[in-house]
Amino acid sequence: MESNLKIAARCVIPRLNTPYYYEQEDYKKIIHKLIEYGVSGFCIFGGEVNQVKNMITELKAIAEQPLIFCADMEYGLPMRFLGGTGFPHAMALGRTEDPTKSGIAAKFIAKEAKLLGIDWNLAPVCDINSNPKNPIINIRAFGEDDLTVSQHSVYYMKATQNERVLACGKHFPGHGDTEVDSHLDLPVLEKTGEDFQIELKPFINNIKNGIKSIMIGHLWVKAMDEDKIPATLSHNVITKLLKEKLGFEGLIISDALEMKSIANHYKSGEATIKFFEAGGDIALMPENPFDAIEELSAEIAKNSELKEHLNESYRKLKKELNFVGAMNPQGIDDDFKDHFMEHEKIALELARESVELKIENNVIPIQEGMQYAGFAFLQKEDDFGPASMFFNFMQQALENDCDFAYINEDISEEDLEQMKLGTDDADIILFAVFHRSRSYVGDIGTSEKISAIMKKIAMGKPIITVYFGNPYLADEIRSDVSVLTYSNSLASLAAATMILSGRTNNMDAQPNNN
C-alpha cells in the first residue's frame, strides 16, 4: 500500500534549475530528496542542452518511479536553454495567416525536446491578445482574434503530440485581456457573457482536437467567481467550467504556484491543497515543494475524497507517461547537431514570411556606401546579446561603416548628447527595439519616452525602426520605415537583416503602406 506522502508527491512537479544542479551540491541533494519523496517529474530552467540531457539521464537512472520532464518551449529550446533552434514567436507565426506554419515550428520544437528527454512542452499559448497593454502575453499569443489563435494553436498542438510530446494549452480560461503580470500580482479578467465565451474558443477547439493537458492561469475571472479567487484555486473555473461544461478529461496543471499572484497570498501547502480541491491534477512549482507535499499528505490522511482525487489524477498522468514513452533520451551527437542546422534554415524561412513592413518613406534596402548609425533600445540586460548579434549581422551583410550603441528609456540627457555626436556622418538612423512581454517586468515599453529619444538622436534624418518584440509601439512611434518581426529569435534577427540589406527579394515580407 502506497504512503500518503507518495500519493501526494507524485502529483507535484517542482522547479529544477540546471546550473544550480551542477554548481551546488546542496541543491542536487534537494532534487534527489524530492525524487525520494516520489515526485513524478520536474519543470526545467536554464543550462546548456548537453547539461540538460545529461541531468535528465542521471535523474531517470536514480528514480524508482517513471519521471516526466517539462519546460516552457513556446518558440523552441532557447526560451529556457542554451542551444537548440529559436523559431519565431507565436504572433510572428500568426502573421503568416497560415496555421500550417505553426505546425511546422511545433514539430521541430518537439523533436528537439524529445532528444533531450523532455516529453511535455508547456505550450501552445491559447490566449487571445485582445489588449495591447497586456504586459505578459503580447507576442506569445498567435493573434488578437479567436479564429487566428484557435487555428494556429490547434496546428501547434497536433504537431507536438504527433511527436509523442504532450502539448499544454494555456492560460485557461484566457489571459489575453488583462493588464497585470501574474508573476507580480493577480490580474483580473473583467469579461462576461459573450465576450467571455470568445476567450474560451481557442481552448474549446483544442479540447475538441484532443489536447492532452491544459494549464490554469492565475487570474480572477469575474464571470465565474464573485469573490477574488485565482482561477487556479477556483472550483467554478476548474471543475464546473473546464471539466463539466467543456468536457475536458485530460491533465489539468496549475501555472507555477511560486508566482507572486499566488505566493503573496497563500502558503505553499495551502495553495497546493486548494488547487486539488478545485479539481486540478498536477501542482506545478510550489514555492516550497516539501511543505506542499507534506501538508497535502497530512490533508489526504483525513480526507478520503481528496485522496481518491489524487489517485485518479495520477492514473491520468500514468496514461500520458505511456503515451510519451518512459525511456532515456538519445545522446546529442553530430547527427543531432545536423538536425539543428536544418531546423535553423526552416526557422529562417518562417521568420521571413512573418515580417511586416510599414512604409512612409521607403529608404530600404540600405544602399552600398550609405552610412548609418544604429541604436538598440534594451528592456533588460539579457537583450544585449540579441542586440549585438543583430548589428553584427548588419555589418556583415552591408559591409558599411556603422556605429552602434545601447540605450534604455532612462538614459540621461548628458549621455544622449554624447550619442548624438556619433550620428553626424550618418545618412540613416537605425533603431532596434527589444521591448516585449516577459515575466517579472510589468510593462512592455513606453512609446512616449522611446519616441522622444528617437527624435533627439535622429535630428530629422531618415529613421528605420525594427521591432523585435512589442509590435504595438509601431502604431505610436513615427518612422520612415517600420519593420515588425514579432520576435527576437535568431531567425527573426536574420530575417530583418536580409530585408534591410536587400539580401532577399522581399516577396516574403508583407508591406503595409498605410
What local confidence, expressed as pLDDT, does residue 1 receive? 76
Does one domain contain both 129 and 173? yes
- Quote the pTM value: 0.94
Rounded CA separation 46/23 (Å): 12
* Average pLDDT for the chain: 91
| SS3 call for 252 | strand
Does one domain contain both 276 and 400? no
In a domain, 80, yes or no: yes
Other C-beta atoms lying within 10 Å of the C-beta of residue 33: 12
Does one domain contain both 164 and 212? yes
The neighbouring-strand residues paired with 189 are 221
Does one domain contain both 232 and 122? yes
pLDDT band per the 50, 70, 90 thresholds, residue 126: very high
Question: What type of residue sits at position 176?
Answer: G
Is pLDDT of 399 > 90? no
What local confidence, expressed as pLDDT, does residue 485 receive? 98
Place of cell 548579434: 389
Does one domain contain both 224 and 360? no
Sheet with 251-254: strands ordered across: 168-172, 213-216, 251-254
Does one domain contain both 395 and 310? no
The neighbouring-strand residues paired with 121 are 71
Rounded CA separation 10/314 (Å): 7
What local confidence, expressed as pLDDT, does residue 414 receive? 84
Residue 114 contacts by C-beta under 8 Å, 6 or more apart in sequence?
163, 164, 165, 329
Rounded CA separation 386/80 (Å): 15
Q: How many domains does the chain have?
A: 2
What local confidence, expressed as pLDDT, does residue 323 receive? 95
Does one domain contain both 190 and 301? yes
What local confidence, expressed as pLDDT, does residue 440 receive? 46
DSSP annotation of 367: P
CATH classification at residue 218: 3.20.20.300
Of the candidates 262, 235, 259, 238, the residue with the CA atom closest to the CA atom of residue 250: 238
Q: Is the separation of the CB atoms in 179 and 131 below 8 Å?
A: yes
Most confident of 36-40, 330-334, 453-457: 36-40
Average pLDDT of span 140-153: 97
Residue 127 contacts by C-beta under 8 Å, 6 or more apart in sequence?
137, 140, 141, 149, 170, 171, 174, 175, 176, 199, 202, 217
Backbone φ, ψ for residue 375 (5° rounding): -135, 130
Among 15-24, 254-263, 438-447, 462-471, the least confident range:
438-447
Does one domain contain both 392 and 312? no
Of the candidates 321, 254, 297, 261, the residue with the CA atom closest to the CA atom of residue 40: 321
Is pLDDT of 415 > 70? yes
| SS3 call for 463 | strand
Average pLDDT of span 356-371: 92
The neighbouring-strand residues paired with 252 are 214
Backbone φ, ψ for residue 84 (5° rounding): 85, 180
Q: What is the pLDDT of residues 225-248, one digit of tens each?
A: 999 999 999 999 999 999 999 999
| SS3 call for 284 | strand
CATH classification at residue 409: 3.40.50.1700
Q: By residue range, what is the domain housing residue 30?
A: 7-324
Does one domain contain both 317 and 360? no
What local confidence, expressed as pLDDT, does residue 495 receive? 97
What local confidence, expressed as pLDDT, does residue 443 receive? 55
